[in-house]
Amino acid sequence: MPVTDYLERNCKLYGEEVALVELNPTMEDNRRTTWKEYDLVQATEFQPYRREITWSVFDEKANRVANMLLERGVKRGDKVAILMFNSLEWLPIYFGILKSGAIAVPFNFRFDSKEIEYCANLAEVSVLFFGPEFIGRLETIADRFIKGRLLIYVGDHCPTFAESYLSLVADCSSKAPLVRIEDEDDAAIYFSSGTTGFPKAILHNHESLLQAAQMEQKHHSTGRDDCFLCIPPLYHTGAKFHWMGSLCAGSKAVLLKGTKPDVILKAVSQEHCTLVWLLVPWVEDILDALDKGELKLKDYDLDQWRLMHVGAQPVPPSLIKRWKEYFPKHDYDTNYGLSESTGPGCVHLGVENIEKVGAIGVPGYRWKCKIVDENGVTVSQGDVGELCVKGPGVMTCYYNDPEATKEALKDGWLFTGDMAMQDEDGFIYLVDRKKDVIISGGENIYPVQIENFLTAYDKVKDVAVIGLPDKRLGEITGAIVAVKDGMECTIEELEEYCLDLPRYKRPKKFILADVPRNATGKIEKPLLRKLYGAENLVAMENKS
């Protein structure tokens, strides 16, 4: 069955109950939507902007989107992209795409114009829903981007190169379209990247989406009385598929725009959230604010909060120890996953295994795992090898990339590229990443993109970008830069040059030094990580 069946079930059984709440503490009241049923702003101190929709409205909006797409000639298997920040419109649009039989293609809202164009071409996107924040990026490529594509603008004051979302769906039927969807039908494309820095298009079928939803509900025992607080972006497989546990349970979820400690705790308190998925930096910020006395737990109603879930990057055991000092009754959980495995959960710690903090866990619901050497042979327990996973959530393929697909998928096993080991109790620990992707605050950063940018600077001879350890973000981006002979270049110059990069891609640390390469010309990044690890960085800074 497709996950859209859960939405239709919830509409029938819980139609008048709240499905989704959108909270935006920074938005003013006059930014409210024109849709009457969404016009539910509550003018409180914390909530200058709050919207909610019921399960029946959610399903109705999804049906309108599906019928609109079908009326505009979208066919089964066509690709329809979403480029939007989190909002009440995001999920109804996503489910409307699925109901039409088309393939949903969420775009990372950090994509610049070139990345938007590249990914749209790679995935053969024919329709794009986008929000007001992306008008400028699309304007720069509109002359060639709109050819053969329908651009649908979700917001006020529609630009001339697009059509208005509200106008398009206003007269469309709110009844479910007569489109039959099978488990093996293609459902969604997500984007990932290896060391090349260019995203791969990851194709999943409807069975994958259903697996992710049912797995999340089972892993965290999500029930009808739970309320899930979702802060990360919905384009991310982690955010969306963690939310799908609420879809399976028919329970409320809150989309929060904001990551400040007081904003998070107020949302948990006022919306009575029970399940909260946090990234390591947000956990660090909350704990630091509590340590400093900037937050006081007595100011919030948090008794109903039962699970603190951390993911998207390695979790230091010391962090969870600190958390339990403030929240001794909280269950704790973490998951491991990747977009190729429909997001997190193929490896799952489990709330009952808190004594194993530091491990990513054991195989998740309906998953199998193995750790292999370079020849694909399973290693002995305790030895390091590449983690491989197998289950109903494995991708169909890398779309339009048979060579990459062949490398990643072998006999149904997904080779993750992550190095791991298994202890005597069967718990898996990540050791290192085979790929050089940097994970900073839960976001993937691709070194080659930054290396290519810096190499274009006329004073730069060579450059290597690596992840440097950071307490709050897990890793920060470090650039080791070799200056051309006879030239002088300062760190300040490099920082100014990198202002043309998106903020999250700018190196946080520059080191002026030689870049070691091996006999085949490849950068020796393991050596660089050893040279510029945490202890050596401190020693260098003290010496300077």
124-164 per-position pLDDT tens digit: 999 999 999 999 999 999 888 988 899 999 999 999 999 99
Rounded Cα distance between 342 and 202, Å, is 9
Q: What percent of the chain has pLDDT over 70?
A: 91
Does 113 or 449 have the greater pLDDT score? Answer: 113
Q: Which of 205, 237, 258 is the last residue of a domain?
A: 258
Non-local (6+) Cβ contacts of 451 within 8 A are 463, 464, 465, 479
pLDDT of 281: 77
User: In the predicted model, is pLDDT for residue 179 greater than 80?
Assistant: yes
Q: What are 490-510's pLDDT values in tens digits?
A: 999 999 999 989 888 899 999
3-state secondary structure 418-480: EEEEECCCCCEEEEEECCCCEEECCEEECHHHHHHHHHCCCCEEEEEEEEEEECCCEEEEEEE
Does 527 or 154 have the greater pLDDT score? Answer: 154
- Rounded to 5°, angle at Cα 503 from 501 and 509: 90
Structural domain total, the chain: 2
Average pLDDT over residues 77-101: 97
Residue 195 — pLDDT band, cuts 50, 70, 90? very low
pLDDT of 543: 52
Sheet with 103-106, edge to edge strand ranges: 163-164, 150-153, 125-130, 79-83, 103-106, 186-192, 200-205, 397-398
pLDDT of 42: 31
Ranking 4-13, 374-383, 464-473 by mean pLDDT, the lowest is 464-473
The closest alpha carbon to 285, from 275, 295, 270, 277, belongs to 295
0.85 surpassed by pTM: no
pLDDT of 63: 98
Considering the domain boundaries, does residue 13 fall inside one?
yes
Q: What are 301-332's pLDDT values in tens digits?
A: 999 999 999 876 667 787 888 899 999 999 99
Phi, psi torsion values for 102, nearest 5 degrees? -80, 175
Query: Which amino acid would we find at residue 200?
Result: K
Considering the domain boundaries, does residue 224 fall inside one?
yes
Q: Which of 227, 258, 289 is the last residue of a domain?
A: 258
Non-local (6+) Cβ contacts of 13 within 8 A are 250
Average pLDDT, the chain: 88
Considering the domain boundaries, does residue 448 fall inside one?
yes
Considering the domain boundaries, does residue 416 fall inside one?
no
Residue 15 — pLDDT band, cuts 50, 70, 90? very high
Considering the domain boundaries, does residue 318 fall inside one?
no
> What 3-state class would DSSP assign to 182?
coil
Average pLDDT over residues 94-110: 96
Conformational region of residue 121, where left means phi above 0, alpha means psi within -120 to 50, and beta covers everything else: alpha
Does 533 or 64 have the greater pLDDT score? Answer: 64
User: In the predicted model, is pLDDT for residue 443 greater than 90?
Assistant: no
Structure tokens, 35: 């849709």
Ranking 51-55, 185-189, 458-462 by mean pLDDT, the lowest is 458-462
CATH number of the domain encompassing residue 45: 3.40.50.12780
pLDDT of 347: 95
Q: What are 364-418's pLDDT values in tens digits?
A: 999 999 999 989 999 999 998 899 999 999 999 999 999 999 999 999 999 998 8
pLDDT of 39: 30
The closest alpha carbon to 341, from 198, 186, 209, 196, belongs to 209
Considering the domain boundaries, does residue 390 fall inside one?
no
Residue 537 — pLDDT band, cuts 50, 70, 90? low
Does 296 or 37 have the greater pLDDT score? Answer: 296
pLDDT of 521: 53
Rounded Cα distance between 391 and 363, Å, is 10
> How many alpha carbons lie under 13 Å from residue 295 in its C-beta half-sphere?
18
Q: Residue for token digits 């779309």?
A: 399
Measured between alpha carbons, how far is residue 185 from residues 1, 179, 188, 269 in Å?
A: 11, 12, 10, 41
Q: Which of 191, 225, 258 is the last residue of a domain?
A: 258
Rounded Cα distance between 179 and 469, Å, is 50
Considering the domain boundaries, does residue 57 fall inside one?
yes
CATH number of the domain encompassing residue 468: 3.30.300.30
Rounded Cα distance between 23 and 67, Å, is 29
pLDDT of 55: 98
From the centroid of its chain, how far is CA 110? Answer: 11
Residue 518 — pLDDT band, cuts 50, 70, 90? low
| Domain range for 61 | 4-258
Average pLDDT over residues 441-446: 77
Residue 477 burial (C-beta neighbours within 10 Å; 0-12, 13-18, 19+): buried
pLDDT of 37: 31
Considering the domain boundaries, does residue 532 fall inside one?
yes
Measured between alpha carbons, how far is residue 264 from residues 24, 50, 53, 325, 453 in Å?
A: 11, 15, 21, 19, 36
